[in-house]
Amino acid sequence: MKRHFGTLIFTLLLVAGIASMAHAEEVTLDKVIVSARGSDRLQSQTPGGTGVVEKEEIILAPTASIADSISRISGLTKTGDSPWGQDVSIRGLTGSSVVVLIDGMRINTATEINARLGFINPMDVERVEVLKGPVSSLYGSGSTGGVINVITKKGKFTSESDVSGEAILNWSTNPQGPDGYGRAVLSLKDLWIQASMGIRDHESFYGGDGTRISNSQYEDVYLRLAGEKKWSDLLTTRFQAMNIEANNIGIPGGSATMPQNAAITYPRSKNSLVSLDTVFTPKSDVVQEVLFNLYYTKNDRRVRIDKPAPPIAYVSPMADHETFGGKIQGEFGIGNHNIVTGLDAWNWHMVSKRAKHLVAGPVIKDKPTPTSTMLSMGIFAEDDWKLNEAFTLNLGARLDRIEVSNKANAIYDKGTEEDLGWNIHTGLTWTPAKNWSHTVIVASSYRAADILERFKNINLAPGIISRGNPNLDPETSYYFEYGLHYTTNTLSVTGAAYINYINNYIEEKQKTAALYEMENVGKARIYGLEMDANWRFAEHWDLYGNIAFANGRDLENKEALRSVAPINGLGGIRYTMGNGFWARLETPWALRQSEVPHGTERSDGWITCNTAAGYDFTMGKIDNSVSLSVNNIFDKKYQNYLANSRGVELLEPGISAAINYQIAF
């Protein structure tokens, strides 16, 4: 009962807030997205699946990872093994098939336990834009499944000098612990500088039946300095330096490639990002913008695996991943054409080591994965061609040269592999009548195998090895999607149907009783349907929801793909009022997943109920916002089919309440 006492108090306060009949900001029914074409486009006018989550939704979601908030988008489902280490599946593809960006810059990491979405504090995020599938030519290898672009908060130029800022305090009951965030901005007519900081510290969470999910704790400290200098009306330079360091991160289920009794933690996981952008915006009808970007990221991964197999007491693998990258990108207006084109390159370098600490005392050191480098250089172009008032044609293409090289170690010989990859697509937007639009896209793209898929060497159990394959061919994807959109001031409905064929599909296969190895297994097919709707059916009232269905098959082995989520969705009702109060009630749900590959357990269906309410008010020159939220109100015990648990009953969190207080000045 003690565990639920704080939750009960919050729930009573929340019910009082709902009874007051609350307000939230006006809903924008047709959102703008930049990541698909490199310039502003309405979602209803963009061929290919897209999704957007704004900062207001991010704040209300659990704060461990932005995976919690972006999984509200239809077709996206949380995966992973811990709150901090969550990833997402986009229409059945995940991990190396999805590119993760921070402000357009690639975050590379190669471990069996993915944690890219934990490498930024959600409170410092302005919005997240998602591309579903290979619908853009701007990003290159790894975007066959889609792209997640995390866009951070930034300052702005002001006509007079100004100091502004915000502070956010959050406390939740499950996982219990606080979150704190602060941001200060100095703004001038030709300069702004911003400093932000965040701290998160949470205990292990409890499942719906009161079971403590041990080793699911997380804590980290986040720092970011950013700014922009206006040299003239035509030229500006932006910079940022970001660092997040997490300690004692628990992985309750751990990697699927490790024995069930091997507890896994991150004693330290650290990510740093430094970037410099120069933007030239000439007063020309033809040359609209030219961007020069340089960036450097480094993530240090320290892992501890306890009791992996006798006579080893624990193993401490480590890996450092460095990526240097940059691009030159221009936007041009030529007649009825809006063209975004450029060059980009990135170089990903990995160094890893491992120490095996024996029960008897000695330590054995080795390099299971050789020092490796992956270099990608590409040229790309996107053209939106307005044929007439009803039709807009989108053409996109890119060509990449990818080189992967490695030094020799005990398992792999020194070698170099080269791939030539591409993305090419044709999209069409047809607006036959006011409020209606049809979108169609046909695309072909590729994904080169990453460093881990080529060179990993992991002891799964005594005498059993999981190994990479340096000779993997790139996956190639052939993709089609049709979308239908209807948008008015009170109603927005979007439907989509898609199919994705993938040749040379990369998967781990059992070669012998003692060896698992990565290989190209042939063809895979994923198809699905999605629908999103928002209906403002009365003054102050909105109904909203989405539903997603996907089916994935390994056509070579005639079985289901593991990373495809069951039919799932979200339904909700929102009440808004002009006096500063707001409230909502919503129900995420998923059906039973019975289409599973051999050796994988089926999952049961589930439905939960979440609610939130808040009040926005101004005192003097300070804007205040307080909100209360309760997730899984009825303490439902359930599991996520895509959770990676190694046979452990890895439950989703039970009832959880959170209070959030924000001030802005």
pLDDT tens per residue across span 431-483:
999 999 999 999 999 999 888 888 887 766 566 778 889 889 999 999 999 99
Give residue limits of the domains in the chain.
2-664
Q: Which distant-in-sequence residues (6+ apart) come within 8 Å of 19 by Cβ? A: none
45 phi, psi to nearest 5 deg: -110, 15
Q: Which distant-in-sequence residues (6+ apart) come within 8 Å of 601 by Cβ? A: none
How sure is the predictor about 7, in pLDDT bands with cuts at 50, 70 and 90?
very low
C-alpha pair distances (Å), 348 with each of 269, 322, 374, 375, 573: 18, 6, 5, 6, 45
How sure is the predictor about 510, in pLDDT bands with cuts at 50, 70 and 90?
confident
DSSP codes joined into one string, 455-472: H-EEEEETTEEEE--TTP
Is the confidence at residue 121, as pLDDT, over 70? yes
Kindly state the average pLDDT of the residues 72-90. Answer: 88
**How far, in Å, CA of 422 to CA of 398, rounded?**
5
Q: What's the pLDDT at 261?
A: 65
Q: What's the pLDDT at 302?
A: 87
DSSP lists the bridge partners of residue 522 as: none
How sure is the predictor about 32, in pLDDT bands with cuts at 50, 70 and 90?
confident
**Do strands 125-132 and 105-106 pair parallel, antiparallel, or not at all (unpaired)?**
unpaired
Is the confidence at residue 4, as pLDDT, over 80? no
Is the confidence at residue 24, as pLDDT, over 90? no
**What's 369-405 look like in SS3?**
CCCEEEEEEEEEEEEEEECCCCEEEEEEEEEEEEEEE
**How far, in Å, CA of 346 to CA of 308, rounded?**
35
Q: What's the pLDDT at 255?
A: 61
Q: What's the pLDDT at 140?
A: 87
113 phi, psi to nearest 5 deg: -110, 105
Is the confidence at residue 532, as pLDDT, over 50? yes
Q: Which amino acid is at 541?
A: W
- The answer to whether the Cα torsion of 257, 260, 266, 270 is positive or negative is positive
Name the one residue in this structure whose structure tokens are 């998967």.
507
- Among the residue ranges 18-32, 409-423, 651-665, the one predicted with the least confidence is 18-32
- Among the residue ranges 287-296, 419-428, 557-566, 643-652, the one predicted with the least confidence is 643-652
Which percentage of the chain shows pLDDT scores above 70?
92
Q: What's the pLDDT at 10?
A: 41
DSSP codes joined into one string, 570-622: EEEEEEE-TTSEEEEEEEEEE--B----TT---B--EE--EEEEEEEEEETTE
Instruction: Tell which residue, 162, 176, 142, 210, has the closest CA to residue 62.
Output: 176
Q: What's the pLDDT at 463?
A: 66
Asked if residues 230 and 190 have their Cβ atoms less than 8 Å apart, the reply is: yes
Q: What is the side-by-side order of every strand in the sheet holding 105-106? A: 49-54, 125-132, 146-152, 98-102, 105-106
Residue, of 220 and 511, whose pLDDT is higher: 220
pLDDT tens per residue across span 622-662:
999 999 999 999 999 998 888 865 556 688 999 999 999 99
- Among the residue ranges 261-270, 563-572, 605-614, the one predicted with the least confidence is 261-270
pLDDT tens per residue across span 187-197:
999 999 999 99
Asked if residues 290 and 339 have their Cβ atoms less than 8 Å apart, the reply is: no
Q: What's the pLDDT at 22?
A: 35
**How far, in Å, CA of 380 to CA of 399, rounded?**
7
Kindly state the average pLDDT of the residues 373-389. Answer: 96
Kindly state the average pLDDT of the residues 598-606. Answer: 86
Asked if residues 385 and 393 have their Cβ atoms less than 8 Å apart, the reply is: yes
Asked if residues 255 and 264 have their Cβ atoms less than 8 Å apart, the reply is: yes
Q: What's the pLDDT at 600?
A: 79
Residue, of 64 and 370, whose pLDDT is higher: 370
Buried b (16+ CB within 10 A) or exposed e, 306-318: eebbeebebbbbb
Q: Which helix (H) or strand (E) holds 309?
A: strand 287-309
C-alpha pair distances (Å), 164 with each of 58, 180, 183: 21, 18, 8
Q: List Cβ<8 Å contacts ≥24 apart for 3-8.
A: 3/173, 3/174, 3/206, 3/210, 4/655, 6/173, 6/176, 6/657, 7/173, 7/174, 7/630, 7/655, 7/656, 7/657
Is the confidence at residue 306, as pLDDT, over 70? yes
Residue, of 385 and 462, whose pLDDT is higher: 385
Q: What is the dihedral of CA 347, 81, 98, 367, to 10 degrees?
A: 30
**Ramachandran assignment for 599, one of left (phi > 0), alpha (psi -120 to 50 degrees), beta (any other):** left
- Among the residue ranges 10-19, 87-96, 300-309, 456-465, the one predicted with the least confidence is 10-19
How sure is the predictor about 12, in pLDDT bands with cuts at 50, 70 and 90?
very low
Asked if residues 351 and 395 have their Cβ atoms less than 8 Å apart, the reply is: no
Name the one residue in this structure whose structure tokens are 């089926």.
602
Instruction: Tell which residue, 448, 462, 461, 456, has the closest CA to residue 517.
Output: 456
**Do strands 125-132 and 146-152 pair parallel, antiparallel, or not at all (unpaired)?**
antiparallel
pTM for the model:
0.92
- Among the residue ranges 60-64, 213-217, 545-549, the one predicted with the least confidence is 60-64
Q: What is the mean pLDDT of the chain?
A: 88
Q: How many helices (H) and strands (E) in the chain?
A: 4, 38
DSSP assignment letter at 26: P
DSSP lists the bridge partners of residue 398 as: 380, 423
Q: Which fold has domain 2-664?
A: Maltoporin; Chain A (2.40.170)
Record the tokens describing residue 554, joined without a space. Answer: 């390994």
Residue, of 123 and 116, whose pLDDT is higher: 123
Asked if residues 281 and 234 have their Cβ atoms less than 8 Å apart, the reply is: yes
